[in-house]
Amino acid sequence: MKKSFRYLVMSLVILLGCCAPKAFAGNEDRSGQAGAAELLINPWAASAGWGNAGMSFVKGVDAIWGNVAGISTARSFELNFTHTDWLHGSNIRLSSAGLLARVGESGVMGLSFVSFNLGKVPLTTVDAPDPGTQTYEPTLMNINLCYAKTFSNSISGGFNLKIISESIADMSATGVAIDAGIQYVTGATENVHFGITLKNIGTPMRFGGDGISFKSFFMYGDKAQFTIDQRTQQFELPTQLSIAAAYDFHMASMTRLTLAGNFCSNAFSKDQYTLGAEFAWKEMLVLRAGYTYENGIFSGILDDKCINLNRGLSAGMSVQVPLSKDENAAKFAVDYAFRDTYTFKGTHSVGARLIF
């Protein structure tokens, strides 16, 4: 078991050593130069409710996005369905579904799908530049396949393979990326948590398709028609490194208060610092709140220093009930999260979970 953990740590160190110098050499001046920005959006309500502060503490399906090591806490089977109203009023919707299944004594496998509904966009062409009756629908989808293992009572780790797909009417791009994460828990009552995760390490993406080709004729000779394909610029993925910690205060009547913090280093944006708190009563009612800070967040939306959509504040709650009086009974939970934003009316997420 110790040997397996050593191999996992070595693999993560190699990933950091190979990828970090290139991925984290950037600064805020590189903002907007990466693609696939949807990978930075947390699609799950429970962990989004305190601003992703609990990356050392995240569990269940939420951990597929947050810190994949956290899926190792799944009991036997878990389902999660979440709907997100992104920037309320913009008509952008996120639909996500995930499942976890225990394999063996200490391993858990997971699968999740995240789909973005961006609505219909008027179709315009060179010959018809004015919007008409024709429309097209952009498609963004992420598929995650992950595995995590508990190596001891204190340590768990995992990897996540994600497939990224982006398309419009006549162009598309596909990419592959890997996440890796480790969680460590210690303390007399296992109330001290640490976590580290490296996300979105993958190959550059490039758009291709009929949308970048056109037909022409030779100027001389028989004037035969031919097709010209134009080259598009490839783009990098938005790599992240997160280091997180949390501390549980266990109080009377099965009440828990968890304080958590997370440092997020973005390769193509500013670094972010998040502090959050989670209050739980018998793990049946959970209240959360968090705040994310980055340089320039207090500037106005028209200020060049303000490049973050989020104002920083987030809040949420969960209600979880057992489906029978049995101690090991299945549980049903409903999650809600709100993230304050500079424009529109914030982001709202509602999810439902089944835990077996």
pLDDT tens for each residue of 128-159:
788 778 888 999 999 999 999 999 999 999 99
Question: Would you call 62 exposed, middle or buried from its count of C-beta atoms within 10 A (0-12, 13-18, 19+)?
Answer: buried
pLDDT above 70 covers a percentage of the chain that reads: 89
For the CA atoms of 116, 117, 119, 121, the dihedral, rounded to the nearest 10 degrees, stands at: 40
Q: Rounded distance, CA 44 to CA 49, Å? A: 9
> What is the DSSP code string of 295-316?
TTTTS-TTSTT---SEEEEEEE
Query: 109: Cβ–Cβ under 8 A, 6 or more apart, which residues?
Result: 100, 101, 103, 145, 146, 147
Which of 334, 281, 356 lies closest to 45 in space, CA to CA? 334
pLDDT tens for each residue of 296-347:
888 887 787 788 888 999 999 999 999 998 888 999 999 999 999 998 999 9
Question: Would you call 147 exposed, middle or buried from its count of C-beta atoms within 10 A (0-12, 13-18, 19+)?
Answer: middle
Instruction: Return the minimum-mean-pLDDT range out of 171-175, 180-184, 247-251, 327-331.
Output: 327-331
Q: Rounded distance, CA 248 to CA 96, Å? A: 29
* Residue 22 phi, psi (nearest 5): -80, -45
Q: Rounded distance, CA 39 to CA 218, Å? A: 44
- List, in sequence order, every residue forming a beta bridge with 236; answer none if it has no partner: none
- How far out from the chain centre does Cα 33 lie? 19
Which of 3, 13, 177, 151 lies closest to 69 in space, CA to CA? 151
- Look at residue 133 in the predicted model and tell me its pLDDT: 80
- Look at residue 258 in the predicted model and tell me its pLDDT: 97
pLDDT tens for each residue of 85-104:
999 999 999 999 999 999 98
- Secondary structure in 3-state letters for 77-145: EEEEEEEEEECCCCCEEEEEEEEEEEECCCEEEEEEEEEEECCCEECCCCCCCCCCCCEECCEEEEEEE
Q: Rounded distance, CA 95 to CA 112, Å? A: 11
Q: Rounded distance, CA 346 to CA 92, Å? A: 12
- Look at residue 22 in the predicted model and tell me its pLDDT: 45
- Look at residue 123 in the predicted model and tell me its pLDDT: 85
Contact present, 292 and 269 (Cβ < 8 Å): no
Q: In the chain, where are the structural domains located?
A: 2-355
* Residue 98 phi, psi (nearest 5): -145, 155
pLDDT tens for each residue of 17-43:
454 444 444 456 677 788 999 999 999
The pTM score is: 0.89
Which of 283, 344, 260, 275 lies closest to 314 in space, CA to CA? 275
CATH of 2-355, one of 1.20.950, 2.40.160, 1.25.40, 2.40.30: 2.40.160
